[in-house]
């Protein structure tokens, strides 16, 4: 299943709007329970997440740039199999692939982003 998912639109994780059995859960939790693979789109939110992110995001994710942070956030989400990124220039491909060499962050670290304050 493909759905928009990024730092600006985390509802697939944060919003319990699905029913599995008798529980209300998020889309990510429902997909995991039902063994459905998820592909996130709008990873960079049309480039809006490539600058101006709070400093704690990069620090938590261990990334050097805001673009890397946005990609690492989406690709590390529990249950997310793919994070789609539109790239119109070869330079963008080279830059965005740098994060592919990094390990995914643990679910504990990833979930900590939701507990931090600016």
Percentage helix, strand, coil, to 5, in the chain? 40, 15, 45
The ranges assigned to domains in the chain are 2-112
What pLDDT, on the 0 to 100 scale, is given for residue 92? Answer: 87
Quote the pTM value: 0.92
Q: How is domain 2-112 classified at the CATH fold level?
A: TIM Barrel (3.20.20)
Cα 78 from Cα 12, distance rounded (Å): 11
In whole numbers, what is the pLDDT of the chain averaged over residues? 94
- What number of other Cβ atoms are within 10 A of residue 4's Cβ? 15
Q: Give the model confidence (pLDDT) of 37-81 as tens digits.
A: 999 999 999 999 999 999 999 999 999 999 999 999 999 999 999
Report the candidate in 59, 54, 44, 52 with the shortest Cα–Cα distance to residue 95: 44
- What number of other Cβ atoms are within 10 A of residue 83's Cβ? 23
Cα 66 from Cα 86, distance rounded (Å): 16
Cα 66 from Cα 98, distance rounded (Å): 13
Helix residue ranges per DSSP H, the chain = 11-14, 27-33, 55-61, 66-76, 90-97, 107-112
């Amino acid at each position: 299943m493909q759905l928009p998912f990024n730092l600006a639109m985390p509802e697939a994780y944060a919003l319990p709007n699905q029913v599995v059995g008798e529980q209300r859960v998020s889309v990510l939790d429902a997909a995991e329970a039902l063994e459905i693979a998820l592909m996130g789109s709008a990873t960079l939110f049309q480039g809006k997440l490539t600058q101006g992110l709070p400093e704690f995001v990069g620090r938590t994710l261990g990334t050097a740039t805001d673009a890397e942070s946005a990609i690492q956030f989406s690709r590390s989400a529990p249950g997310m199999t793919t994070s789609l990124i539109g790239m119109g220039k070869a330079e963008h491909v080279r830059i965005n692939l740098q994060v592919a060499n990094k390990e995914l962050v643990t679910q504990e670290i990833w979930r900590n982003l939701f507990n931090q304050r600016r």
